[in-house]
Chains A and B, each alone.
Chain A
């Protein structure tokens, strides 16, 4: 074989498209690989022009080829940026999912004379296989990332659920304990209370008796007995006792009242007590509560209420909810040092089928390390005797019983905002569309 024939045979077997064009984009040569992939008509054209054959990509081809003529330097086209400069069909027309061939193209100066380029060569490489592999990988990695994100979300959800479970288990355990204690304490409190009532009456009678006898002795005109009586009364500090005894009893009665109030709260907290469920207007409940608490509120805060006009009736235990509102309002007023503001906002969340109540104050706020614990029973920052530490835990358990949520945001020194979300009808099964 002579060298030109050998070369010709070699070029026709190359797995590359080769094409040579002149300054007017006229095709001077193309090899079989290139020609075979053209339409029949295009392939047989006389004096073919590369811009006419590929009109859709003409501007790109023109720019690239011109660059080579002007700069006397190779230029490249990548499948990532320009997948199909030549509209060749895929090398895998039957089994592949691609319809067009992915190409890398090199444009290079072929013939140069005195630094001037006379013709430009194009080498087209079929990278369909590579591109499809690369794209599959990319798709897989996107899928993987999505799955990973989904898993992370799920993990986070599980963690939250576990925390909630722990919290509610803790609350339940404390509730049981509280119920037990409440029950045990109730009996002794009962008889101490009634004994105190008797004691009060008995004391009154006894003092009456003593003053009767004293008067009697004074009437006998027996100075000796009179002196003796006066002496005895003085020695035993009768005047003081007569004055102090009713006060002592009165204080004890009040003390017992407070204990029974705590026991009652404990019972409510442990669900031992439950009032009737009914459809009620939240607004009415808040208004009533504000009336009850107005004595405590009016010296501390300006209260402003903002009710949505479309508030629906809520299926709830109104008395219990009032208890919650009372707790929050009293807390808010206690958080205010001199004088501040309390805002009450009530909104209807139509989409969530719920009502939200926001109680915001401009008080001292809650320290961030306390926020975690405020719903725990017996947790209080108030001075001893001022608060039982049951108010918020009670509120928490009441809201939970209504399948609602209570949350708090607070900034020390700025104020606190409690948000209560109540489902309009908590007997309706909750729909968690993400899990379902």
Chain B
């Protein structure tokens, strides 16, 4: 399935991601008033097994939120436990964090990053998407890990706040049926 995308499509998508992710990094930087650096976006097709590998990091927290519209899917945000406190301080949370305020911080961060990524991305492709509210996701608590899909497209980028040693990754996961829609829109843009 890794050849779902040809070279040109992948390059174009990566470029689009770069722009929208830059916007997300900018949003976060503006909010917390610190430099935010980001990685080169990774675009990859995965099977459920490969996807589950993402969810095995014990030092991280996960949030998820779904999006609807031209394309459908879910955005996962993976946030490092490390550096949370200093981010909380930058975002004017009351310290020390208790369990509730910790979760609130995670959800707020996730929403800012995921929101900026997705909005930027879908605007450029002229896909009207709407993001629902994020929730904390604990992969171990899933009763069923059997996926009802065979493969999906992941678009992943890493944000780092070096001053706080904070690290987060936003993974946009497309529903299998939406991959075609995306490719059509991409085609229109490339022509």
**Chain A residues near B (Cβ < 8 Å):** 63, 67, 70-76, 78, 80-82, 104, 106
Contacts and interface: CB of A to CB of B under 8 A. Distances in A.
A75 B108 contact: yes
17 contacts: A67-B31, A67-B112, A70-B30, A70-B31, A73-B27, A73-B111, A73-B119, A74-B115, A74-B131, A74-B133, A75-B108, A75-B111, A78-B104, A81-B103, A82-B104, A104-B133, A106-B133
B37 interface: no
B141 to A, nearest CB: 14
A81 B115 contact: no
A78 B133 CA distance: 9
B134 interface: yes
A104 B134 CA distance: 12
Nearest to B30: A70
Given A73-B112, A73-B116, A73-B119, A81 B133 contact: no
A293 B16 CA distance: 93
Given A67-B112, A73-B115, 20 more contacts: A70-B31, A71-B30, A71-B31, A71-B112, A71-B115, A73-B27, A73-B112, A73-B116, A74-B111, A74-B115, A76-B111, A76-B133, A76-B134, A78-B104, A78-B107, A78-B133, A80-B100, A80-B103, A81-B100, A104-B133
Contacts, number: 41
Across the A-B interface, give the 4 residue pairs with the lowest CB-CB distance, nearest first. Answer: A73-B115, A81-B104, A76-B133, A71-B27
- Counting chain B CB atoms within 10 Å of each CB, which of A70, A72, A74, A76 scores highest? A76
Contacts of B27: 71, 73
A366 B133 CA distance: 64
Contacts of B31: 67, 70-71
A73 B108 CA distance: 11
B101 interface: yes
Interface in B16-30: 27, 30
B92 interface: yes
A340 B133 CA distance: 73
A262 B108 CA distance: 81
A81 B100 CA distance: 6
A193 B103 CA distance: 87
A16 to B, nearest CB: 14
Interface centre among B27, B103, B104, B133 (most CB of A within 10 A): B133
A75 B105 CA distance: 12
Nearest to A81: B104
Contact of B107 (A70, A71, A72, A76): A76
Interface in B93-110: 100-101, 103-104, 107-108
A104 B133 CA distance: 10
A1 to B, nearest CB: 28
B106 to A, nearest CB: 10
B53 to A, nearest CB: 29
Nearest to A125: B133
Contacts of A74: 111, 115, 131, 133
Contacts of A106: 133
Contacts of B111: 73-76
Nearest to B27: A71
Contacts of B115: 71, 73-74
Contacts of B103: 80-81
Contacts of B30: 70-71
A104 B132 CA distance: 12
A74 B132 CA distance: 9
Contact of A71 (B92, B116, B131): B116
Contacts of B131: 74
